[in-house]
Amino acid sequence: MVTTTTAPAPARPSTPGTGRTKKGRLPRSKLPYLLLLPAIALELLVHVVPMVVGVWMSVLELTQFQIRDWSAAPFVGLDNYKATLDVNGPVGKELLHSFWVTVMYTTLSVGLSWLFGLFAGVYLQRPFPGRSLLRTLFLTPYALPVYAAVITWTFIFQRDTGLLNELLTTTGLADDRPFWLIGGNSFWALLVVSVWRSWPFAFLCVMAGLQNVPSEMYEAAAIDGAGFWRRLKDVTLPMLRPVNQVLILVLFLWTFNDFNTPFVLFGGSAPEQADLISIHIYRSSFITWNFGQGSAMSVALLLFLLIVTAGYLLVTNRRREHA
Amino acid sequence: MSRRLLAMTAAALVLAASITACGDDSEGGSGGAKTLTYWASNQGSSLDFDKQTLQPELDKFEQQTGIKVNVEVVPWSDLLNRLLAAATSGKGPDVVNIGNTWSASLQATGAFIPFDDATIGAVGGKDRFVPAALAAAGAPGQPPTAVPLYSLAYALYYNKKMFADAGISAPPTTWEELVTTGKKLTKGDQWGLAVEGANISENSHHAFAFGQQWGGEWFDASGKPTFDTPQNVAAVKRYIDLMAVDKIVNPSNAEYAQNQSVSDFANGKAAMLLWQAAGNAFKTQGMAADAYGVAPVPFPATTPAGGKKVNSMVAGINIAVFKHTKDKDAALQFVKFMTSDAEQVQLNKVYGSLPSVTTVSGDAAFQAEEQKVLASVLATSAAPLPQVAEESKFETLVGTAMKELFADAASGKAVTEDAVKEKLGNAQQQMGS
């Protein structure tokens, strides 16, 4: 990411050996690489080194006995991975469960966020009085600090004093006060908070993407007698494809790795029905002090996300080429 | 043009390097005056309150010794992670507070100076400290990894007015009595007992005390986990049954993890509470000291086979010195200061805890009903949590299993012996990895 944003424009083609290579002056062709150096150094420092360290940790038996001197940690090869990925063992079974919960959660959250974002974006495309007010309002959840926003949701979801149950019981929708932060409902509570937090981002991206759709296309479609759904299907969505491609990928990665929402909502140990993988890994390494195993889980997760991302980009790019 | 860019890049790099170098330097803080960094745990109502409580004492220490102490009060939710980070990097504070249940786990990292005979001699000697508290400062047979600073124990807190209104004259001394009393006091919006069902460490503390009473051990002599023994299953089931079977606990408590049970008790929503040194917390919630009574935590009416007379863990805060400190002598001087008679009286009085040294237990500051009960529990019927390196795992796994059992109980699912055994068995399996 860093390299692409800070990379200078490619150097103008210059015939090698010529040009003004006076004393003390670098050849033109080397300058771009030199300018890239700080970015590469930072990229290495911020992304690559921690990742490599993570991989290294994952092949060690790293517990509290060795954290002061990692070189003393016994090399265990793939043992951590074996324990992690053995779905019949207790560790693997829990991880697999947590993985499926996360897949469900991500699919629903990304799908709903995208749908909300799309429809809000489309409806706010044409100017009307109060449009900018609505736009601002819709973006509020995205602008709030995560902790403050999610802790408010925990208050809303509390069984005895929460706003939600107050609403449900006074309107007669529920006789008994259900639990939202423990048991089966906790999954849905988590999903609601997640969608609430991420749909404004989808809205923002769709809104930006729609600026590029020429209004003539809608006019032409309207003249041809296309209704709302037809215009959405044949004009809006195709024009939004490049935006959607990135948007869905980013939402997927963010949601799959989301740590803050469950951590604040459930306070460090999520109920099993909402045991997202990020929290699960945190519990497996930090709280139980088994850093090697936590790293093995993280590396496995990283590989999974890489494969999904690569597959996704491959499929969507191919489709675009065919289109 | 390119030369200017180069020069600018170089300048930026030099600047960046010098900034990081500065960061390194300030860690040491050496030079003329000695400086120590101290991470204190959060003992009072807020981080600010603690800072204001500690600062005058640290000033006193600086006057006496010329050593300046920079204190940072670290919230409990961060403390362990920060300690681990400091242990890993070999950088950070000189002196720290640690929860005493972490003692053996942290001891295993080897990051702290062991208090062998010579070292403990430098802070006043072994005999100065309350024996039960010192026993919770590291694995048996090894020099302690810390010395006790504040001591705490569990007690049964009860609402005097509710007891009087229901015609109950004395607090329960057995679990059977507690259930009968609780049933009498459970009516309308009021419940007999409040528990912190989703708080993992609270759960595990109760698992330990109940386990002791039912003759269970969580680790065998060789340090292997023994979670799902019949004794431990019976003990955990007894605790969960207070909600599941006896129905004297509001099912809502299954989601409590932010000390809501303390608020419920202080606000008259529950008549009883099992907690460690809760007096200060009640005070912040506006409950007067004469509104509640304090009694030892009950025992079973008939002692189960192998059951021990234990009704609390030895709870408390220890103070430890990192091996990476640049000035061990100054750090030990500070530990000696914090465990001195004057400071023990002053700080424990403010925090509502008990002194960890034997010399000041008779002080007027510790003669209130609450402190007397806690002191007698600590002296006669408290035991340290298992001092094994895997202790923190035990807290996490067993505490989580109990949280799930409470969730089941709250949603009306039957919590059978088999269900408890299965959860504890699962937790034990995860220890092995």
Is residue A115 domain-shared with residue A251, that is, in the same domain?
A: yes
SS3 of chain A: helix, strand, coil, percent, to 5: 70, 0, 30
Mutant choice from B84, B189, B255 vs A, greatest count of A C-beta within 10 A:
B255
- Domains of chain A: total: 2
- A66 within some domain: no
- pLDDT of res. A322: 64
Q: Are residues B117 and B204 in the same domain?
A: no
* CA distances in angstroms from A139 to A109, A197, A256, B425, listed in the order given: 17, 9, 22, 47
Same domain membership, residue A239 and residue A90: yes
- Does the beta-carbon distance from B430 to A91 stay under 8 Å? yes
Q: Which residues, given as ranges, of chain A have pLDDT below 70?
A: 1-26, 268, 287, 320-323
Can you give the pLDDT at residue B21? 40
Contact B275, B282 (CB under 8 A): no
CB A104 within 8 A of CB A274: no
Q: Based on the domain organization, do B117 and B212 belong to the same domain?
A: no
Residues A83 and A41 in one domain: no
Domain co-membership, B226 together with B354: no
pLDDT tens per residue across all 433 residues of chain B: 445 544 444 444 444 444 444 444 344 444 457 899 999 999 988 899 999 999 999 999 999 999 999 999 998 878 888 998 898 888 889 999 999 999 998 998 899 999 999 999 999 999 999 999 999 999 989 999 999 999 999 999 999 999 999 999 999 999 999 999 999 999 999 999 999 999 988 999 999 999 999 999 999 988 899 999 999 999 999 999 999 999 999 999 999 988 889 999 999 999 999 999 898 889 989 999 999 999 999 999 999 999 999 999 999 999 999 999 999 999 999 999 999 999 999 999 999 899 999 999 889 989 999 999 999 999 999 999 998 888 888 988 899 999 999 999 998 889 999 999 999 998 998 886 4
- Are residues B253 and B357 both part of a single domain? no
**Tokens standing for B287?**
């409950």
In this complex, do A64 and B396 lie within 8 Å of one another by their Cβ atoms? no
At residue A67, the pLDDT reads 80
Q: Tell me: do B296 and B271 sit in the same domain.
A: yes
Q: Give pLDDT, residue B12.
A: 46
Radius of gyration of chain B (CA): 24
The verdict on residue B20 lying in a domain is no
Domain count, chain B: 2
What's the confidence (pLDDT) of residue B67?
95
Nearest-CB residue to A179 (from B106, B108, B411): B411
- Count the residues in chain A: 323
Q: Tell me, yes or no, whether A111 and A84 share the same domain.
A: yes
The reply to whether B111 and B182 lie within a common domain is: no
Instruction: Verify that B61 and B86 share a domain, yes or no.
Output: yes
- Asked if the structure places residue B230 within a domain, the reply is yes
Q: Clarify whether residues A194 and A305 are in a common domain.
A: yes
Tokens 């802790």 map to which residue?
A: A151
Is there a domain that residue A70 lies in?
Answer: no
A148 within some domain:
yes
Q: Do B184 and B216 sit in the same domain of this protein?
A: yes
Nearest-Cα distance to chain A for B392, in Å, is 6
With a CB-CB cutoff of 8 Å, which residues 67-126 of chain A face chain B? Answer: 67-68, 83, 89-91, 94
What token pair was written down for B11?
């300048």
Domain that holds residue A10: 1-58
User: Does the residue B133 lie in any domain?
Assistant: yes
Beta strands in chain A (DSSP E): none
Domain match, B231 and B276 both: yes
pLDDT at position A268: 67
pLDDT at res. B31: 45
Helices A185-210 and A146-157, axial angle in degrees (round to 10): 140
Indicate whether B267 and B163 sit together in one domain.
Answer: yes
Element (H, E) at B276: strand B270-276
Across the interface, of B110, B257, B393, the residue whose CB is closest to A68 is B110
Last residue of a domain, one of B383, B401, B418: B383
CB B318 within 8 A of CB B146: yes
Pseudo-torsion of CA B384, B81, A297, A69, nearest 10°? -90
Residues B289 and B408 in one domain: yes
Kindly state the DSSP code that residue A162 receives in the 8-state scheme: -
- Per the domain annotation, does A63 fall within a domain? no
**Domain edge (last residue) among B383, B404, B421:** B383
Given this model, what pLDDT does residue B418 score? 96
Q: Are residues B279 and B412 in the same domain?
A: yes
Q: Measured in whole angstroms, how far is the alpha carbon of residue B362 from the centre of its chain?
A: 24
**Residue B12: its chain A contacts at CB < 8 A?**
38
Distance separating alpha carbons of residues A140 and A138, to the nearest angstrom: 6
Q: Please tell me whether residues A183 and A240 are part of one structural domain.
A: yes
Residue of A nearest to B393 (CA): A288
Residues A168 and A23 in one domain: no
* CB burial string B330-366: b at 16+ within 10 A, e below: bbbbbbbbbbbeebbbbbbebbbbbbbbeebbeeebb
Per the prediction, chain A carries an average pLDDT of 86
Q: Is residue B15 part of a domain?
A: no
CATH at A255: 1.10.3720.10
Domain that holds residue B249: 154-313+386-432
Tell me whether residue A292 is exposed, middle or buried, using C-beta atoms within 10 angstroms of its C-beta: 0 to 12, 13 to 18, 19 or more. buried
Phi, psi of B48 (to 5 degrees): -65, -45
